[in-house]
Amino acid sequence: METYLLDWANLLLRWLHVIVAIAWIGSSFYFVFLDSSLTTPEDESLRREGATGELWAVHGGGFYHPVKYAVSPPQLPGHLHWFFWESYSTWLSGFALFLVSYLWSPSVYLIDPQVFDWSPPVAIASALAFLVVFWLAYDAICRTLGQTKNGDAKVGAAVALLVVVAALLATSLFAGRAAFLLVGAMIATAMSANVFFWIIPGQRKVVAALKAGQPVDPIHGQRGKQRSVHNTYFTLPVLFAMLSNHYSFTYANPHNGWVLIAMMAAGAAIRQFFVLRHGFKLGRNPHPWKYAAAGVVVLIGVIVWLKPAPPAPVAARPAVSAAQVQAVVAQRCAMCHGEALQSKGVRLDSPAELKRHAQAVYQQAVVSKTMPINNATGITDEERALIGEWFRAGAPTE
């Protein structure tokens, strides 16, 4: 019953997480587009009011005319919409999903003894520390380097180095799939913390000053803009890290840390292309095709790098019987796929059921080597090879 309820919790939390993440990412991408597409207002009255940009757009049968006031509007409207629950809901649902999927069963999902063998409590504490320490280090970089000459470039380089170090450290301590997810959660935590600690508080100070009739300090808008820009470049790397758990050929690679770094770099470069493309359309900057090309080249390089090696020739020997494979499955797989428990609806404790799921068994146990999870039951390479020979022989039931 516990496994059944955990599956439901995982499903519902994942559903919620995707929904609110779409809302957050969508609004983030929209405002990056909006800021990059604004032009000087044509209406003299708008310029006198302090408007710094406007955009005319058509969508859904209607015309829209958003106007931006970089520091403050002439007066506050009666209703002011705040963009923050999208961020908070994404982080809260994501953390709950991480708790249910990984921290609830750390010895299965978080710890791989072949990578680093430590106790579940220490592994859990270390995983949580990644979220906190990365935010503190990132925030310190922004506070110090961000206020210096060429601060944005310095911050970008320092944060990139910080992500590289964190990715290599995570993949040397945790199971590959967990490490990828943890790095994504780590960056996503910084994104949401930017909203919670900097963007929204700064906006509240601006609103409070306007209500009190006091001058508005433009530094709040500048800081909020800086952190918002960081968030947009974090987005594609985070999305890859979150989706990677479905593709074991990335996180199961012996050099998975560098795979993760390369894929995140490609995502950031492609995001830069889309950000600058808005400015290019208005003649503000050259065509940013080089960033897209760089991202694609990195992706192609990773694809070529991870290409599976051709199978080594196998010496002739007697055909593998179903009984031999069944013995391996009974010892290594049946505890999760037997009579008592059929994880993911898969049961392998009979020749007929094993035959039915032969393709999945071959893919998970031989090709990707993701099952058993983190090799918790100690399946050997010889046993995996045995399953592979059995499958290639047509998965006989006798």
Residues of the chain short of pLDDT 70, as ranges, are 1-2, 311-318, 339-342, 344-345, 374
Domain ranges of the chain: 2-37+71-305, 322-392
Give the model's pLDDT for residue 47: 92
Query: Is 40 within 8 Å of 53 (Cβ atoms)?
Result: yes
Distance CA 264, CA 250 (A): 12
Distance CA 366, CA 362 (A): 5
Give the model's pLDDT for residue 313: 61
Q: Give 37-60 as a DSSP string.
A: H-B--S-HHHHHHTEEEE--EEET
Instruction: Dig out the tokens for 299 from the structure.
Output: 């992706």
Distance CA 345, CA 352 (A): 15
**β-strand 67-69 against 51-54: which pairing, if any?**
antiparallel
Residue with tokens 């770094």: 261
Give the model's pLDDT for residue 312: 59
Distance CA 130, CA 116 (A): 16
Could you say which DSSP state residue 375 is in?
G
Q: How far is CA 162 from the centre of its chain?
A: 16
Helix axes 120-145, 219-243, angle to 10 degrees: 140
pLDDT in tens, 152-167: 899 999 999 999 999 9
Indicate the residue type of 10: N
pLDDT in tens, 279-327: 998 999 999 999 999 999 999 999 999 987 776 565 555 677 778 888 8
Distance CA 108, CA 103 (A): 9
Give the model's pLDDT for residue 363: 78
pTM for the whole thing? 0.83
Could you say which DSSP state residue 310 is in?
P
Query: Is 262 within 8 Å of 250 (Cβ atoms)?
Result: no
Give the model's pLDDT for residue 8: 86
